[in-house]
A and B are shown apart, each in its own frame.
Chain A
Amino acid sequence: MGILRGKLLPPVLAILFSALLCGIALLVSGANPVDAFGVMVSQVGQGTTAVDIINSTGTYYIAALAVAIGFQMNLFNIGVEGQYRVAAVVAAVVGGSLALPPGLHALVVILVAALVGALWAAIPAVLKVTRGVNEVISTIMMNGLALGLAAYLIREDVFGELRGNNIRTPEIPESGWVPGIPLGSAGTVFGLVFLAALLGVGYWVMMNRTRFGFELKASGESATAAAAGGVNAKKMVLVAMLLSGGIAGLVSMPEILGRDHTYNLNFPAGLGFAGIAIALLGRNHPGGIAFGALLWAFLDKSGLALDNVGVPREIVTIMQGAIVLSVVVAYEVVRRFELAAEQRRVGKQLGTVGAS
């Protein structure tokens, strides 16, 4: 029970606290917080919002998993943003230029995306291992390069084509699409949302049941103890970064293979950064991340309704930021409290029994 309390208490505290903060922000700006929150909740039942939230959750989930793998060993992969973008362009181009049987076609596109994401992440990884370049700096710079590279690749004279006033990569033929679950007027759930769930399971198994996961966790907990225990720090950095990048490459796959079938100028940005926040929120735990992704998606999609009651929907961004900050603080507070409680418990079972 104590363990569960330690896991659930911080996010609940943090969410309540940030709701309070946003409530105050709403009051200050002259709106009624109860109305605003009410509108957001009732929006879930409107139109395709519920399905949009699920689809968005899947995307966020993959992004956050990618970040979490790095976090496990205190590796800050800020480059998820760039990794999924480059992966998306290249995968879309490859997918659009291939003719393969259904199923296999989609599989190839997915593998290409993972591979490209991993390769893009390999650059900062190799720099860190061989030259000691801080991955925060290099991945941020790689994000800038990714934007430029993507823009170049979809130029008309390279791989792109002009459709209306939008530039996009050639459409992936139907054999490469991943069918979704149509829910009529409520929208269609992307088929690859299940890929996200599968990745979550795989991530849990890796962290809890494999030697690699153990070494990853050990490196993150104490680099010195890991080194003394024979964990090769350089190898871990390399593998963790490649894995993180590979998963990052899959971030846009649900949308591209499930709906857009192409990479175009409307490609969503900022998923990688949201992934950082969600991984923090979920404490790198697959369940926690799922919850964080759902919350993020809910705030995003339901927040659209705020405009209807005259509340600026930027309040949602404030709320997201407040949640992350409060979560970080709340976890640290609860962690210290829990450790003291555990020591007390051990002390009680040994000390007082012995002293009696």
Chain B
Amino acid sequence: MSTSTPATDGPPAVVLSGITKRFPGVVANSDVHLTVRTGEVHALCGENGAGKSTLMKILYGMQHPDEGTIEVAGKAVRFRSPADAIRAGIGMVHQHFMLADNLTVQENVVLGAEALHGIGGRARKVILDLAKSTGLTVDPAVLVERLGVADRQRVEILKVLYRGAKVVILDEPTAVLVPQEVDELFATLRAMQQQGFTFLFISHKLDEVRAIADSVTVIRRGTTVGTADPKAVSSRQLAEMMVGSELPSPETRESTVTDRVVLRVEGLGLVAEEGTRPVLDGIDLVVRSGEVVGIAGVEGNGQTELVETIMGMRRAHHGRVLLADRDVTRLGTLARREAGIGYVPEDRHRQGLLLTQPLWANRVLGHQTREPVAKGPWLDLAGAKRDTERIVADFDVRTPGIDVPAAALSGGNQQKLVVGRELSGDPVLLIASHPTRGVDVGAQALIWDEIKAARARGLAVLLISADLDELIGLSDTIKVMLRGRLVADADPASVTPEDLGSAMTGAGSTSAAVAELGGGE
């Protein structure tokens, strides 16, 4: 519970004691204790749905605690609304930016706070002053739509500072940034820390937490588990505090790759629906039994199209898709699924689940022609329910029953259900698009484990992920995708996220672990 930080003397910036919120949500806060000292960067970690957001909403005045007290700079306060919190010097930078694109930086900052310094020259002067501390170098008269993501975030921070915040809550600030921008953000935070600002940093990226935070408080199932010195604990230990058990790592070093080819993609080409621009261009790909092939790439470089073409949801314009030597290029999605392809779609809400339908009906989706959920043209309700119970048990889907609608589950549990379904019926190939995106550490560990176990049984896996650690940890082979083409191979045993990152942006590889493929068209 003790750390050495550049904290100044005097009362802590924020003290939450005994906060309990019987919030009608997935998890309530119960008896939460949190002490944030002035001038520190205090990280708040926890799984999705652990109660981080609720707690921050309470601190920011958006929710009212049923029990417990809040002290800011030594004085007990009661916030009725965010306006009260702002007056007490607490500001919040939301994960999703709340900026008007068609207004200038200055207009965005001043909007709603016109009474402070007017809207003219005086406001501009204050903004320029504050901008220095946030590292924002653009002119306040520039339109926000012309700013990049990192600068937009700075504008958000600026907005909070302009309103006089001394304590800034950052809700998953790095989720939208690339590694280099994260470093810049951290430099900014450290500089501002020297000027006496206090930060509450919400994240579940543990490496970042360890890089920036002076102390870490872990929250699990609505209550604080403890506070630790991030310098003294490993990411693994932190993660274990978050889940309350020992974690497996994504690493799968002992190779299970065989020489039996399961998926062979030859010269696959796809033309954009509007126009003639190629979205996929001459893709050659082989996935063998027991092998995980990872595709790295900045989103929008054709990964979605590649997956949907292999799944038969889009019609290829060139090339062939072979599943275990059988040409499936002309088959529909259902026939490909029947041939043994499991598919974890990138967006579980849009593509993976029928949200208002019960869990057992979601088990049927994609398997509606196969045992045990169907018999000929008839559904086998008993079989579907039995098998759903199996998935719920084996994949630790936390639900009161299989008759609740899928929408009632938390994201991690929904995803466990989807992965469990797609691994049902002995698939030979699993296509997993961002299989652990937006899920908590516990669900992530379980999904990794299941993928590894299936791989050991001989499953071929095509993995698409924006989480480079996941990609490097799980894959036997990594291919880099850029503008619809596979441009480089990387060896997951030696490649670093930074190497991959520069290959993904087309900056060229600087590492021996990334081998560029022949530049042929």
A interface residues, Cβ below 8 angstroms from B: 208-215, 217-218, 221-222, 224-232, 339-340, 342-347, 349-352, 354-356
Which A-B residue pairs are the 9 nearest by beta carbons? A230-B334, A351-B27, A229-B366, A347-B26, A228-B351, A229-B365, A354-B221, A355-B222, A230-B333
Q: Bin chain B's interface residue count.
A: 35 or more
In the bound complex, how far is the Cα of B407 from the Cα of A340, in angstroms?
A: 10
In the bound complex, how far is the Cα of B366 from the Cα of A211, in angstroms?
A: 11
A227–B357 CB distance below 8 A:
no
Further 4 A-B residue pairs, CB within 8 A, beyond A211-B369, A231-B334, A355-B223: A209-B379, A214-B364, A230-B336, A339-B356
A210–B26 CB distance below 8 A:
no
Instruction: Decide: A214 near B368, CB < 8 A? Known: A228-B351, A343-B407, A352-B30.
Output: yes
Q: Write out the residue numbers on chain A whose beta carbons fall within 8 Å of the beta carbon of B25.
A: 343-344, 347, 351
A356–B30 CB distance below 8 A:
yes
Please tell me if B218 contacts chain A, counting CB pairs below 8 Å. Answer: no
B351–A339 CB distance below 8 A:
no
Q: Write out the residue numbers on chain A whose beta carbons fall within 8 Å of the beta carbon of B154.
A: none
The residue in chain B whose Cβ has the minimal distance to the Cβ of A350 is B398
Q: Write out the residue numbers on chain B whose beta carbons fall within 8 Å of the beta carbon of A226.
A: 365
The residue in chain B whose Cβ has the minimal distance to the Cβ of A335 is B356
Summed over the interface, the residue pairs from A and B with CB atoms below 8 Å come to a total of 131
Please tell me if B100 contacts chain A, counting CB pairs below 8 Å. Answer: no
Please tell me if B448 contacts chain A, counting CB pairs below 8 Å. Answer: no
Q: How far is the CB of B484 from chain A (nearest CB, A)?
A: 21
Q: Write out the residue numbers on chain A whose beta carbons fall within 8 Å of the beta carbon of B223.
A: 355
A350–B378 CB distance below 8 A:
no
B interface residues, Cβ below 8 angstroms from A: 24-28, 30, 49, 221-223, 311, 313, 332-338, 343, 345, 347, 350-357, 361, 364-366, 368-369, 374, 377-379, 381, 398-400, 404-405, 407-409
A227–B333 CB distance below 8 A:
yes
Contact of B381 among A209, A217, A222 (CB under 8 A): A209
B368–A228 CB distance below 8 A:
no
Contact of A224 among B311, B335, B350, B369 (CB under 8 A): B350
Instruction: Decide: A225 near B361, CB < 8 A? Known: A211-B374, A352-B30, A355-B223.
Output: no
Q: Write out the residue numbers on chain B whose beta carbons fall within 8 Å of the beta carbon of A229.
A: 333, 337, 365-366, 368
Of listed B336, B337, B357, residue having the most chain A CB within 10 A: B357
Instruction: Decide: A342 near B408, CB < 8 A? Known: A210-B378, A225-B352, A228-B351.
Output: yes
Q: How far is the CB of B459 from chain A (nearest CB, A)?
A: 19
Q: Write out the residue numbers on chain B whose beta carbons fall within 8 Å of the beta carbon of A215.
A: 368
A230–B30 CB distance below 8 A:
no
In the bound complex, how far is the Cα of B364 from the Cα of A214, in angstroms?
A: 8
In the bound complex, how far is the Cα of B334 from the Cα of A348, in angstroms?
A: 38
B222–A351 CB distance below 8 A:
yes
Instruction: Decide: A339 near B365, CB < 8 A? Known: A222-B350, A224-B351, A232-B334.
Output: no
